[in-house]
Structure 1
Amino acid sequence: MLPINHIHHIAIICSNYEVSKKFYTEIMGFEILQEVYREQRDSYKLDLKVNGLYQIELFSFPNPPARPSRPEAVGLRHIAFETDDVKLVHQLITQKGVECEPVRIDETTGKEFFFFADPDGLPIEFYEK
């Protein structure tokens, strides 16, 4: 086994920086650590703190190509966040105008979970602790 401590960050490339920045800070509630405009790349990089444990790097680039998510495509499928109260998170996100799938039960673990998508269709899951 490699000597890995934990996941350091998740990098996401968005199609509309301002829309995604608002989604990840106002809907998801992630804290901005640093925001940098990289002139040579015409690109923003926004570092977001997730509950003090992890970091999401949100990037913008001019005209990034679309990456299919559905039907199930090869590659990273989704990101998942753990919560103590799946139904409460579902309610809070829905109240902010985000369309969410219904809460379901994982038939293997018996845990509750649900999915929704970020502004670019990236699947996000909340999963019961």
Structure 2
Amino acid sequence: MLKLNRIHHIAIICSDYGRSKIFYTEILGFTVLREIYREERKSYKLDLEVNGLYQIELFSFPGPPPRPSRPEAVGLRHLAFEVTNLEEAIFHLSEYDVVTEPIRVDETTGKRFTFFTDPDGLPLELYEK
């Protein structure tokens, strides 16, 4: 049997590198581990740390094609982040004009959650611990 240890990283391609860098570092508060510009690809690669556990790789490429990101589209549905206090997290996002959906309750676990999007419409979730 294949033994996978953990998720190593999540890669996100953005359409506006500067806007997405601000969103993921200043609004969501991820720590920059490394930022490089790859001249041969005309592309930035930004490695972000999420609370010391996981890494998000933020890429920019010239003219990336749009991808459907509706919640029920085939493929990756969304990326979820655990929070301790959902109201505090929603309030923080609202201070940056990030709109969240109404709070819902997971019918299986009884936990509360909400969705919002990154600057490119990638569905993101806040899931209360």
Same fold (TM over 0.5): yes
Q: CA, structure 1 residues 71+54, in 2 after alignment: closer, same or farther (shift >3 Å)? A: closer
Change (3 A) 1:41 1:53: same
State the AA in 1 paired with 2:83.
T
C-alpha distance in 2, partners of 1:74/1:4? Answer: 24
Report the RMSD for the aligned CA atoms in angstroms. Answer: 1.0
Give the aligned partner of residue 122 of structure 2.
122
Q: Who is 2:86 aligned against?
A: 86
Aligned to 2:111: 111
Give the CA deviation at 1:71.
Answer: 6.0
Letter in 2 for 1:99: V
Q: Is the 8 A contact 1:44 1:60 kept in 2?
A: yes
Residue by residue over 1:94-123, the C-alpha shift from the partner in whole angstroms, topping out at 9 and shown as x without a partner, is 122101111111111110000000000000
Structure 1 unpaired stretches of 5+: none
Instruction: State the partner residue of 1:25.
Output: 25
In 1, Cα distance between equivalents of 2:78 and 2:29 = 19
Matched-pair contact (CA < 8 Å) for 2:71–2:77 = no
Runs of 4+ in 1 over 4 A off after TM superposition: none
> Does the 8 Å CA contact 1:105/1:113 hold for their aligned counterparts?
yes
Cα distance between partner residues in 2 of 1:74 and 1:41? 28
Q: Percent identity?
A: 67
Deviates more, 1:101-110 or 1:10-19: 101-110
SS at match of 2:48: strand
Structure 1-normalised TM-score?
0.96
Q: Which amino acid aligns with 2:45?
A: K
Q: Who is 1:61 aligned against?
A: 61
**Partner SS for 1:75:** coil
Note the alpha carbon deviations across 1:44-69, whole angstroms, 9 max, x for none.
00000000000000000000000011
Size of the alignment, in residue pairs?
A: 129
Structure 1 CA distance for aligned equivalents of residues 37 and 2 of structure 2? 34
